[in-house]
Structure 1
Amino acid sequence: MEKAKISGSQLFVLIVLFEMGSAILLGLGAEVKQDAWIAILFGLAGGIIVFFIYYRLYMYYPDLPLTSYLQKILGKWFGRFIGLLYIVYFIYIASRVLRDFGELLTTTIYNSTPLFVVNSLMILVIIYGIHKGFEVLARVGEIYFGVVYLTAILGMLLITFSGLIHLSNLTPILEHGLKPVIKTFLTTTLTFPFGEMVVFTMLLPFLNDKKKAKIVCLGGMILAGINITITAVINISVLGAGLFQRSTFPLLTTVGRIQIADFIERLDVLFMLYLIIGGFFKISIYYYAAVAGAADIFQFKNQRKLGFPIGMIVLFSSITIASNIAEFLKEGLVVVPVYLSWPFQIIIPSILLIIAFFLNRKKQTSSA
């Protein structure tokens, strides 16, 4: 592992930017239309419970990343095999997020630019940032955190003054009962974005004050969850439940409607910056976790040697992952939650925690 140390505030900023990332961009919980914000709050509550699994594992092994304590809990070879699966998972999700933002740019601003070119430019910047080290990424996060929040506040004010918000679009609440909301919570909002905190099992050892881990992580998750919920409420209020559900990038559609005094309008390009910042940090954290994990499992003394090859895998995966955006979105909604997110975010960590509990209790009994 890289000899990096970050403060509690830097970790907090990274968690907020990571969690908001592509969750702000996409219409999270759109399956339940005007009840999307309820599904998001359910996801936040469930995500906090799942986080305590990661936190408990971290308390057992505070100086080790996930790929290292997998080997201690499951044995050297089986632990390495599961660790390798996690690396593939991190690379795959990094590829998906890169594709999300590549599609955003090619369908809005750069209509004539190939997806490969846009994704290449973004991944090269990320490779360079990670090459400089995790501490540098954390410090950059602190700078951009202010930019993100100023942009968000400005956007909220402009949407309000444009008279676009119609709270009646949020009714009727629970029109079809609680069952569709719970289904969306279990298949979507629990695992995306809140269950994705599993990636921080690779990064928590960098925290310089171990006692702050719980409060910092929970604070970051709660703030990001509130921000995502407010964004969903605004999108539904402005667009209506039908358009919110049909829109590929609802926040961009909402911002595109801002018009004040026939002068302030077409601000979607400005808010693209806000979305790209979130995407940059989400891809970077997944990508860094994959690089650090691969270096740990394959015993590389200098993990920077793995940066470029893994970056190229992320790039080419993002292009070949689906032939078009419809297929890409369907894969993300149907295949990923059931076959990837639940096993890697909930089932495997739960099994690890049970085994770690008995292993550590056995050690305490033998030492006593």
Structure 2
Amino acid sequence: MEKAKISVIQLFSLMFIFEMGTAVVTSYGINAKKDVWLAILLGMFVGIVFFFVYYFLFRQYPNLPLTGYTKKIFGKYLGWIIGLLYVLYFLYNAADNIRSFGDLLVSSILPQTPLLAIIILFVLTICYVLYLGIEVVGRTAEVFIVILVLFGITGNFLVLVSGDIDLDKVQPFLENGWTLILTTAFLETSNFPFNQLIVFMTLLPYLNRPRLVKKVWLSALISGGLILSWTASLNIAILGVEEVKKSTFPLLLTVGKINLLEFVQRVDVIVVFTLLIT
């Protein structure tokens, strides 16, 4: 295992940025329609429950990554197979995120650029950063989270003062009952991204203050869940349920509607850079 350490702030930054991922720009949880915000919050609480399972495992094997203690629990051979399945699962999620990023760039600012070229350049960048080591990844996240927060504050401020918000579009509450909300929460929003935080079980042994794992994990999970819930509600309040459902990247359309005094326009680049970071 790499002899390196990451700080509490760096782990929080990595987890928060990971949670935002593609969820912050896509039609995440829209199957719950107007109550998507509630489905996301319920999914977050499911993620909290699963965290305590992860935390128990970490306390039992504090110096091993996820693929290490699968062997301790299930034995050498079955544990190796389970560890391999987790690795493949993580690779699948990474490939899905990279494809979403490429699609966004092609559809927004680089329509004449081949999708394959964008993906290859992105993968090469990822390989280079990972080659430099986990400490570099942590420091990179530490810088990026500041930029991400500034983008978020700017984008939300411009949307709020643009006058396009219609609260009638998010009403009435529980229009379709609890069934749709609970189904979306347990089958969709709880898994992506909250339960996918299990990937950080591979990084916890590198934390320089392991006693703070619980505070860091829960802080990142809850803050990320609240922001995703807010963003989903904002998209619906501006675009409406049907337009959000039809759109691949509703946040791009939401920010695209910003028009202040015919001067501040076309700030879609905020969304593009947000997805680039997350």
Q: Give the TM-score taking structure 1 as reference length.
A: 0.74
Residue in 1 aligned with 2:95?
Answer: 95
- Structure 1 moving runs of 4+ over 2 Å: none
Residue in 2 aligned with 1:221?
Answer: 221
Return the letter of the residue paired with 2:100. D
Residue in 2 aligned with 1:81?
Answer: 81
Residue in 2 aligned with 1:107?
Answer: 107
Deviation readout 1:161-193 (Å, 9 max, x if unpaired)? 110111111101111100000011111001001
Return the letter of the residue paired with 2:18. F
Q: Is the 8 A contact 2:25 2:271 kept in 1?
A: no
Number of residue pairs matched by the alignment: 278
**Offset of residue 92 of structure 1:** 1.1
Deviation readout 1:245-300 (Å, 9 max, x if unpaired)? 1111010010010000001101102331122100xxxxxxxxxxxxxxxxxxxxxx
**Offset of residue 53 of structure 1:** 0.8
**Offset of residue 210 of structure 1:** 1.2
Matched residues in 2 for 1:268 and 1:97: separation? 19
Structure 2 unaligned regions, length at least 5: none
Matched residues in 2 for 1:46 and 1:18: separation? 17
Matched residues in 1 for 2:50 and 2:184: separation? 17
Residue in 1 aligned with 2:116?
Answer: 116
The equivalences for 1:199-278 within 5 A come to 199-278=199-278
Q: Please state if 1:178 is matched with 2:174.
A: no
Residue in 1 aligned with 2:196?
Answer: 196
Q: Is the 8 A contact 2:39 2:185 kept in 1?
A: yes
Matched residues in 2 for 1:182 and 1:15: separation? 25
Return the letter of the residue paired with 1:124. L
Q: Is the 8 A contact 1:33 1:244 kept in 2?
A: no
Q: Is the 8 A contact 2:25 2:250 kept in 1?
A: yes
Matched residues in 1 for 2:24 and 2:245: separation? 14
Deviation readout 1:214-235 (Å, 9 max, x if unpaired)? 0100001011111111111111
Return the letter of the residue paired with 2:15. I
Matched residues in 1 for 2:264 and 2:88: separation? 45
Matched residues in 2 for 1:272 and 1:207: separation? 31
Return the letter of the residue paired with 1:11. L
Matched residues in 2 for 1:81 and 1:176: separation? 42
Q: Is the 8 A contact 1:99 1:119 kept in 2?
A: yes
Q: Is the 8 A contact 1:158 1:258 kept in 2?
A: yes
Residue in 1 aligned with 2:19?
Answer: 19
Q: Is the 8 A contact 2:155 2:270 kept in 1?
A: no
Q: Is the 8 A contact 1:5 1:206 kept in 2?
A: yes
Matched residues in 2 for 1:66 and 1:274: separation? 29
The equivalences for 1:136-175 within 5 A come to 136-175=136-175
The equivalences for 1:32-51 within 5 A come to 32-51=32-51
Q: Give the TM-score taking structure 2 as reference length.
A: 0.98
Matched residues in 2 for 1:212 and 1:70: separation? 23
SS of 2:174's partner is: coil
Q: Is the 8 A contact 1:4 1:206 kept in 2?
A: yes
**Offset of residue 127 of structure 1:** 0.7
Q: Please state if 1:9 is matched with 2:20.
A: no
Matched residues in 2 for 1:77 and 1:167: separation? 56
The equivalences for 1:125-136 within 5 A come to 125-136=125-136
- Which of 1 and 2 has greater Rg? 1
Deviation readout 1:121-143 (Å, 9 max, x if unpaired)? 11111111111101011011111
SS of 2:191's partner is: coil
Return the letter of the residue paired with 1:187. L
The CA RMSD measured in Å over matched residues stands at 0.9
Return the letter of the residue paired with 2:120. S
Residue in 1 aligned with 2:58?
Answer: 58
Structure of greater relative contact order (alpha carbons < 8 Å, 6+ residues apart): 2
Q: Is the 8 A contact 2:17 2:145 kept in 1?
A: yes
Matched residues in 2 for 1:271 and 1:75: separation? 45
The equivalences for 1:273-352 within 5 A come to 273-278=273-278
Return the letter of the residue paired with 2:263. F
